[in-house]
């Protein structure tokens, strides 16, 4: 069952050019990174380099728009970067992109190549509806620090994704909590591709279609639905 996704009026007012595409998938096969997913990540880095043509990731108009929104809700974008910019910087560094697991590698490759923040949630671990809201500051965000589970709280006014149990991702798409992450045991997932103006809606739709094709390739027989932009 697909979790309901809602975007609050407060977030819409903050970022009227926000669009997201959801890719729902069931019957997935995950596991450790493979040579094939590693090759996809390497290719994504090359696609990114061609796209930037010598510029830094933050100079891309889409990344610049995310920096403006981060600043608008009180976050410092040079210190807490959106997930696409953070991955792009790693892709261009000597160390390259991390290899996590098959499903995470697939959506990271699309994120880097397209410069679109993409997140993946294990739908079996989501509790109730998922909501993109401006935090009150009292919500729980369960994470891990120093090998131990700790509870943090977002800043008041910070944009967060949350479900009925708490915050699932802080600062819009900066840091995902471990509770809903995709692990090697995950079989159902919801992938969110998020964009802001000036990126054309057609571009994020194309990215969603690319991710769906990769999921079908690496999990033959999986049931995949691409939901229209919202």
CA distance 6 to 132: 6
Contact assessment for residue 86 and residue 56, using Cβ atoms and an 8 Å cutoff: no
The size of the chain, in residues, is: 230
Global confidence as pTM: 0.96
**What pLDDT sits at residue 2?**
67
Q: What is the pLDDT of residue 229?
A: 84
**pLDDT of amino acid 153:** 95
> What's the total number of domains in the chain?
1
Query: How many C-beta atoms lie closer than 10 Å to residue 125's C-beta?
Result: 18
Residue 78 belongs to what domain range? 5-227
CATH of the domain at 63: 3.50.40.10
Distance CA 159, CA 148 (A): 25
Q: Which residues of the chain, if any, have pLDDT below 70?
A: 1-2
Report pLDDT for 1.
60
């Amino acid at each position: 069952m697909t979790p309901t996704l809602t975007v609050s009026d407060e977030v819409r007012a903050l970022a009227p050019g926000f669009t997201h595409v959801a890719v729902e998938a069931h019957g997935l096969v995950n596991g450790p990174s493979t040579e094939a997913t590693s090759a996809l990540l390497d290719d994504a880095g090359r696609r990114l380099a061609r796209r930037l043509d010598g510029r830094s990731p933050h100079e891309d108009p889409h990344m610049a728009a995310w920096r403006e929104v981060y600043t608008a809700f009180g976050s410092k974008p040079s210190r807490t970067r959106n997930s696409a910019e953070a991955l792009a910087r790693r892709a261009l560094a000597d160390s390259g992109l991390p290899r996590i697991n098959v499903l995470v590698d697939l959506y990271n490759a699309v994120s880097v190549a397209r410069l679109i923040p993409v997140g993946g949630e294990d739908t079996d671990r989501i509790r109730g509806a998922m909501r993109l809201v401006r935090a009150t500051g009292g919500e729980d965000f369960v994470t891990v620090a120093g090998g131990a589970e700790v509870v943090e709280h977002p800043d008041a006014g910070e944009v967060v994704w949350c479900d009925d149990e708490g915050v699932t991702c802080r600062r819009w798409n900066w840091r995902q909590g471990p509770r809903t992450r995709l692990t090697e045991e995950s079989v159902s997932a919801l992938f969110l591709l998020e964009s802001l103006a000036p990126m054309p809606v057609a571009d994020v739709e194309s990215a969603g279609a690319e991710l769906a094709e990769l999921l079908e390739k690496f999990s033959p027989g999986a049931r995949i639905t691409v939901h229209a932009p919202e």
